Amino acid sequence: MRIDVIQGANLNMLGRREPEIYGAQTLEEIHRGLADLGRQLSDGGDLVELTFFQSNSEGALVDRVQACGADVDAIILNPGAYTHTSVALRDALLAIELPAVEVHLSNPAARESFRHRSLIADVVAGSIVGLGAIGYQLALQALVTAHRTRLAVERPAAPG
């Protein structure tokens, strides 16, 4: 299976950016850890392949979500601050037929009130927040388990 890991605004600054909130690991280190886990989870011919993308631009993130075609099985997404503002990213997630897991290093619910609103949380299969870089690993494990057991990790219907 192939999973696209999509990282939004300012996540390229990890390691230097407010490490007391986001941790000391760089984005490259987080991605290396995910690639290692992908290799561990690869089971014979049943490979877990990961692709990685980061952008600070909302439009580029929308383009990347739209570009997830038949060769991608699921998405791991941390939109950064666009979580709280982007109708366009929300609409892109609704437009594609793929399960997505949203990850946040910090716990937005425990932070400033403007971070409490998410435009993404109700259009993804699930969210993992507040566990630092471990959240990405848990998201990967969940998506691989779901894919292999055909347990439902599905894109929810558009909320009414």
Residues near ligand DQA (CB under 6 A) are 10, 78, 80-81, 83, 104-106, 108, 115
For residues 26 and 106, which CB has a smaller minimum distance to ligand DQA in the complex? 106
Minimal distance, residue 68 CB to ligand DQA, in Å: 20
Closer to ligand DQA by Cβ: residue 25 or 106:
106
Residue 97 to residues 68, 70, 144, 156: CA-CA distances in angstroms? Answer: 9, 10, 17, 10
- How far is it, in rounded angstroms, from Cα 117 to Cα 109? 8
The minimum distance between CB 78 and ligand DQA, in angstroms, equals: 5
- Tell me how far the alpha carbon of residue 12 is from its chain's centroid: 14
Contacts for 47 with CB less than 8 Å, ≥ 6 apart: 1
| Active site amino acids | 22, 104
Shortest gap between Cβ of 104 and ligand DQA (angstroms)?
4
Residue whose CB is less far from ligand DQA, 42 or 106 = 106
Encoded amino acid at 108, one letter: P
